[in-house]
Structure 1
Amino acid sequence: MIRPATVTDARALAELEVRAWRWAYVDIVAEPEMITVEEREAHWSSDGALDGAFVAEVEGRVVGVVKLGPDADDPSVGRLCGLDVEPAAQGAGVGATLYEHAVTTLRDAGFSEAVVWLFADNGHARGFYERRGWSADGASGTTAEAPELRYRQTLAP
């Protein structure tokens, strides 16, 4: 089941994100730059952090989260701000379901294109988005001391 995230999910979201980061980015993000449960719980508990956040829940347990909204640099463009799935649920369709929900939500909100930032060395995520028609648009940056690439896609109806 996909539903909007609530403040009561803050701890579960924080723990999920930390497990997902440690699984997916162990060779990309240095240990001192890794997120912590305390940091992420504070984030999810802050005003506005849950706006545009949706969780995938299985048997009452949060197993995935996606956050979306307008892009900070160009509010006419939608943005996938994060898509994390419980490592044990990888490959079970949770990420694909959250992704489809996010794209539909962005499209329904009137966005005709969207962006997502991915770690340059995260071949798994890059492949996930490339298989769905996304491509790097030439923009790059750094998060947690690791290089990132911006991917973009037209959100066709």
Structure 2
Amino acid sequence: MEIRLMNDSDDRKAISKIYEESWKFAYQGLIPQDYLDGIPTGNWAKAVDTPGWNTLLMLDGDQIVGTASYCHSRFEDWKDYGEIISIYFLPAYMGKGYGRALLQAAVDKLAEMGCTDILLWVLAENERAKKFYEKNGFSASGAYLDDNIGGKSLKELQYVRHVETREE
């Protein structure tokens, strides 16, 4: 497995496919099924090129199997934080330990950017994801966002982690 930064020649639709398949698998029973079934092909293809975002890819040979995006926090209340925007895998690659490596790579990149505190958001009902983040040094901060996806009211919990930078 190789982890590297996304480059201009990477297929944005292949990256979007990871989001699409991951959402359809991981969010079953959490987000309305008709919403998941209706996610269009290429839905996230443009999002990975959002100015200020950085995207890591995990490759198995030539196939992109995982992706993580990160940036300086998008939220004014946490402007001094780094943020992990997303981390997704093709379902066949979930639960095999690859997530830990990709998450740590994103944390390391944020630390290189000078971020000593990192935040991310996770659906309150997503027990699997919460356990994953907790095993990897994140803890719930008590902050949350109210969201609505597919007509269902959802709560996103903020998880945070402190990291040492090279200067500390």
CA distance in 1, matches of 2:54, 2:21: 22
Q: TM-score scaled to structure 2, two decimals?
A: 0.84
Q: TM-score scaled to structure 1, two decimals?
A: 0.89
1:37-116 correspondence runs (5 A)? 37-44=41-48, 46-48=49-51, 51-73=53-75, 74-116=78-120
Following superposition, the deviation at residue 42 of structure 1 comes to 3.6
Per-residue CA deviation, residues 16-71 of structure 1 (Å, 9 max, x unaligned), is 11110111001111134434323222434x5537x310100011000000000111
List alignment gaps of at least 5 residues for structure 1: none
List alignment gaps of at least 5 residues for structure 2: none
Aligned length in residues: 155
In terms of Rg, which structure is larger? 2
Aligned-residue Cα RMSD (Å) equals 1.8
Cα distance change on mapping 1:107 and 1:143 into 2, 3 Å: farther
Cα distance change on mapping 1:143 and 1:133 into 2, 3 Å: farther
CA distance in 1, matches of 2:31, 2:109: 30
Which amino acid is the alignment partner of residue 96 of structure 1? R
Following superposition, the deviation at residue 156 of structure 1 comes to 3.0
Following superposition, the deviation at residue 78 of structure 1 comes to 0.4
Q: Secondary structure at the match of 2:99?
A: helix
- Percent identity, please: 23
